[in-house]
């Protein structure tokens, strides 16, 4: 929600300052729809040309993700740590076969049912299930290093694909000032066609043309680029969760002591979302 606050401050300072200085919003309001049609249409056309449908959907969906903020909170990290720890404990005590039903049908699994939100997080669910499936179908003990390599590859690919969304928005932000100039030039062309008109008319036409330049710069540096930057931060923060899962699985496969596994998992989480050592330790010990 802090993004909404930022937008409100932006609007108040830019347009409020203009009004306080004696400016009138009437020319801007009159010209804005036409200038926005040119700038927005050109920007959208460029986005469609330069990106796949998947990236377009993810990029424009980024505005909503920025407003909502990262989807994982402290309680989610704690719940996932305890869930994965229980899966690994089941692996050690009952064997890999005991996990087959859980990973093939997680919706009916009592283990996954302890944290229902994970059933809707398909990427994280796939990471857990696909990794555990390796252990189930393997005819011999898997090397923890081999499992770690597979998980690293999956995590890096997912993160790389997510960053394409914010990258597309950043590219749009870089193009908007130039597209504003395009709109302005078209306005000047229109003005030159009316060069025989009296100065008040010419002044209005020139002012309308300059609104294009204003909107291009305003949208780029006031809205789209900040959203793209924050979107990257959201993606990076959400990328901490798969690393937590990896640390618990790999640490358990290595046979590391529980305190080390806990601390390795906690070390992947930003401080404001980080469960305390006692919360995780007590939860794991209870399992």
Mean pLDDT of 223-241: 97
Q: Name the token pair of 73.
A: 């909170």
Mean pLDDT of 114-143: 86
Question: What is the residue-averaged pLDDT of the chain?
Answer: 91
Mean pLDDT of 260-267: 93
pLDDT of residue 140: 62
In angstroms, the CA 102 to CA 87 distance is 9
User: The whole model's pTM is what?
Assistant: 0.89
pLDDT of residue 203: 84
In angstroms, the CA 233 to CA 240 distance is 11
DSSP 97-165: GGGHHHHH-GGG-HHHHTSGGGGG-HHHHHHHHHHHHHHHH-SSPPPHHHHHHHHHHHHHHHHHHHHHH
pLDDT of residue 287: 47
pLDDT of residue 286: 64
Q: How far, in Å, are 96, 183, 186, 286 from residue 24 at the CA level?
A: 72, 21, 23, 67
Give the pLDDT confidence of 151-171 residue by residue, as tens digits.
Answer: 999 999 999 999 999 999 999
pLDDT of residue 193: 85
pLDDT of residue 221: 96
- Please answer whether residues 106 and 129 qualify as being in contact, where contact means their C-beta atoms are separated by less than 8 angstroms: yes
- pLDDT over 70, % of the chain: 99
In this structure, of 42-46, 137-141, 277-281, the range with the lowest mean pLDDT score is 137-141
Task: Collapse the DSSP code of 8 into the 3-class scheme (helix H, G, I; strand E, B; otherwise coil) and give the result.
Answer: helix
The answer to whether residue 214 scores a pLDDT higher than 60 is: yes
Mean pLDDT of 199-209: 85
């Amino acid at each position: 929600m802090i993004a909404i606050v930022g937008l409100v401050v932006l609007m108040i300072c830019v347009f409020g300052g203009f009004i306080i200085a004696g400016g009138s919003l009437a020319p801007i309001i009159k010209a804005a729809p036409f200038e926005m049609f040119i700038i927005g249409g050109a920007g959208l056309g460029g986005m469609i040309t330069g990106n796949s449908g998947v990236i377009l959907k993810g990029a424009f969906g980024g505005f909503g993700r920025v407003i909502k903020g990262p989807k994982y909170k402290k309680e989610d990290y704690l719940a996932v740590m305890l869930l994965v720890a229980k899966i690994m404990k089941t692996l050690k005590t009952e064997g890999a076969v005991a996990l087959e039903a859980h990973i093939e049908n997680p919706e009916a699994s009592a283990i996954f049912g302890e944290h229902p939100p994970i059933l809707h997080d398909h990427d994280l669910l796939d990471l857990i299930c696909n990794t555990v499936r390796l252990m189930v179908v393997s005819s011999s003990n898997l090397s923890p290093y081999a499992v770690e390599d597979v998980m690293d590859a999956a995590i890096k690919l997912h993160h790389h694909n997510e960053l394409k969304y914010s990258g597309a928005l950043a590219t749009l932000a870089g193009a908007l000032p130039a597209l504003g100039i395009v709109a302005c030039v078209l306005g000047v062309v229109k003005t030159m066609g009316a060069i025989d008109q009296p100065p008040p008319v010419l002044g209005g036409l020139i002012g309308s043309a300059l609104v294009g330049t204003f909107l291009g710069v305003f949208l780029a540096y006031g809205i789209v680029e900040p959203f793209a930057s924050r979107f990257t931060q959201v993606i990076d923060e959400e990328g901490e969760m798969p690393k937590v899962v990896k640390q618990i699985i790999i640490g358990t496969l290595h046979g590391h002591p529980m305190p080390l596994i806990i601390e390795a998992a906690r070390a992947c989480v930003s401080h404001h979302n980080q469960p305390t050592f006692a919360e995780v330790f007590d939860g794991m010990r209870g399992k």
